[in-house]
Every structure is written in C-alpha cells, then in structure tokens.
Amino acid sequence: MSRTVDHLIVPFAAFPSSHRALWAKGTTERDRFGGLPYGARLSPYTERSARSGWGRFLATCPLAQRARLPADLVVPATIRRFIAAMELAGNCGSTIANRVCQVSIALRIMCPDKDFTWLVSPGGNNVRSLFHSPRRPIKLYHPMLLYRWGLTLMDRAQQISTPKRRAVQYRDGLMIAIFATRAPRLRSLAAMRCGAHVARHDDRFRIVFGERDLKWKRSSLEYDLPAGLTSGVEHYWALERPNLLKGPDHGWFWVGIYGDPLRERSIETIIRRRSEMRFGEIFGPHRFRHSAGTFAPMADPKRPGAVAAMLGHSKAVSEKAYNFGRQQQVCREFQKSFRQERRRLEGIALRAFGRARKSKRQG
C-alpha cells in the first residue's frame, strides 16, 4: 500500500511569491484581444490538482532552488529527482504519471509562452505509457448491496437520539445510496448545491452537473435519482441538514459536522471509514463506479456501453474497462441476484421512509 505523501506537498500559500504572482496572472489576466488565459478555463478541480502537483514537485527541491522561476526550475535533472522521490515514497506508476501531468498543467498556467512538451511526451512517448503499473485485482460489490447498505444506515440513523449523530449517519447513508445508484464522480458529488445541482422534479429529485463539475469537456450531465430516494432526500434536506448547519445557510448540499461544506477529501474519508466498518475493507467512492460499470451492462447485455451515459465517459472507455457484461451466463446470475436483493430491500425502504405497505390483494 502506498504511503500518503500529503505532508510532503508545499501548500499554495508557501509557494515562492514569484510563482504565486505568475499563477494569479495565468488564471485571471486576459490577452490583448480579451481572451481568457489557459488557467481561467480550467475547472476548479483541475486547478487544485495542478497546485497539488506543483507543491509536490517543490517539496523535492532544496529550499535554495525554490526561488527560481518555474521555467528555470523544471529541467530533466529536477524531474528525475522528483520521480525518484515519488518512487521512494511508494507511489505506483499511475500516480507518478498523474503528478508529472499536474506539473505540466501548472507550467502551462505560469509559463504559457514556454514549451514543456518534453515533460508529458518524452521522446514522443506518452508519459503514462512509461509508468505503467499492473492493475490490482479489486473486490466488487453489487450496486444493490451497496444501495441496501446506504438505506440501512439511513434507517438505523432514525433510532439515534442525539441530533448531530443522527444527522451525520443519515447524511452518510444518503450519500452512499446516491453513489450506489448513480455512481457520480467524487468531485461532482462534492459540488452539489441546493437548487443549482439538486432540485425536485415531479416525484423525483433531479441532479444536474455543469461543465465545471465534470471531468471531461461536456456541457452538462443530468439524471433523476430513483423514486425510492425521494423521501430520503426530502428528509435530509428538511430535517437533518439544518441540524448540521451553523450560521447562515451556505447553500452546499452536503454539510459537515461543524456546519461547513463537505469537500472531496472529507467525503473520501467518510466512505473509507464506513466501508471498513461494513465490509472490513477500505475503499473509496471510485469503487462505486467500478461496480456500476461492471454490473450495469449485465442488466442490459444488448447495450453494454449504455452505462457510459450515466458514468459520464465515452462508450469506448466503458466497453474497454468493463466488458464483463458480455458474458451471458453472468447476466442471468445477475438478474437472479438482483431480484433477490430487491425483495430484501423492500422492507428496509418501507421502514426508512415511513411508507405504508399496500395490500397485494384488493377487496
């Protein structure tokens, strides 16, 4: 397991003043024709990632060298030192490649007139191909099992007498249920704001993500949440969320225990802690996307790439990464287990949302 390197990242506030000045210019100053600079067109997530990558690179540079301008600081020798430090810290090849790409983005922000193509395409090769690391086998859980997990947390939360503790567990359960049924990216879920991203639409709640909330360049991504979660969202929004707020309502949908908006890292921590408690294994929000991408095509074997629309990536990526849906025998087993899980979920949903069971027989 890779060791965390967060303590080895120089924060933006500690960047050399010249670097911060170039960063501000590269994210705000328009050109002579009024065009936005490269940095201003990046999503907040991409800019934060670039800051993190540059901070990681600076951490590998001696203090005496950090005052140099970015264009003078990034040379093959310092990049080799940077990569060696990452390897020594136990980072896998894909993480190292991602960090190099983040450094490249940071340089495009601070030094838009300089060419650093050699950094991401050394010798004409894609840097990611040079740091290939074998995929580790991961255990996948059926989305219906994960959905049941979320509903159970919501159900049991209502038995907690302490308002804060009840609100926290109910929030976590709802978050897990949304991850299980729609598998949004972590950055998208963290960006949710009341009214802007989540709003009532007929008998369901609709989630709408804009271009700045998504990874790829697309105008929007929207979908309805399952009807079974309508009461759950209403309950959280009207009762549990106000228990977590402190002071004026900031508008963010997910609220932390101290009243502030939940950011990506906090949500990641919540899922990792809850998964260890439930399954004895630590995993993060991306595991929900793996599960959805693997099991959803099994439910519709004639369109194995249809799940790409929900996950927000291309059909080609979906079919390449998650091709188990083509196995007809597994599809039949999936359908059988799906029906079984749905029957077991019914009782939990009734208790969680206070719905009266309708009699199957009339008269």
Who's near 220: CB < 8 A, 6+ residues apart?
208, 209, 210, 211, 214
pLDDT in tens, 249-263: 999 999 999 999 999
Q: Which residue has tokens 């050394």?
A: 122
State yes or no: pLDDT of 232 exceeds 90.
Answer: yes
Is there a contact between 242 and 163 (Cβ–Cβ < 8 Å)?
no
pLDDT in tens, 182-220: 888 888 899 898 988 888 888 888 888 776 666 655 556
Stretch 228-250: mean pLDDT, rounded? 93
Query: How many whole angstroms from its chain centre is CA 194?
Result: 19
pLDDT of 185 reads 86
pTM for the whole structure: 0.65
Who's near 172: CB < 8 A, 6+ residues apart?
153, 270, 274
226 confidence band (pLDDT: 50, 70, 90):
confident
DSSP assignment string, 174-211: HHHHHHHHH---HHHHHT-BBTTTEEEETTEEEEEEEG
Listed residue (126, 71, 61) closest to 93, CA to CA: 126
Stretch 315-323: mean pLDDT, rounded? 45
Stretch 332-347: mean pLDDT, rounded? 51
d(CA 355, CA 348): 10
pLDDT in tens, 115-174: 999 998 887 888 877 876 666 678 889 889 999 999 999 999 999 999 999 999 999 999
pLDDT of 296 reads 67
- Burial label for 359, CB within 10 Å (0-12, 13-18, 19+), is exposed
Q: List phi, psi (to 5°) of 301.
A: -65, -20
Topology, domain 143-353 = hpI Integrase; Chain A (1.10.443)
Residue type, 346: E
d(CA 361, CA 193): 43
Q: List phi, psi (to 5°) of 201.
A: -140, 100
Q: Which residue has the higher pLDDT, 31 or 39?
A: 39
Give percent of the chain with pLDDT exceeding 70: 75
Who's near 200: CB < 8 A, 6+ residues apart?
206
State yes or no: pLDDT of 3 exceeds 60.
Answer: no
pLDDT of 238 reads 94
Q: What is the overall mean pLDDT for the chain?
A: 81
Q: Which residue has the higher pLDDT, 308 or 100?
A: 100
Is there a contact between 119 and 79 (Cβ–Cβ < 8 Å)?
yes
Q: Which residue has tokens 């926290």?
A: 168
CATH 1.10.443.10, the chain: domain bounds = 143-353
Tokens linked to 5: 């390197």
Stretch 82-110: mean pLDDT, rounded? 92
**H helices present in the chain, as ranges:** 17-28, 44-59, 63-66, 70-73, 76-88, 93-110, 117-120, 127-130, 143-157, 163-182, 186-190, 230-235, 241-244, 264-279, 286-299, 307-311, 315-321, 328-353
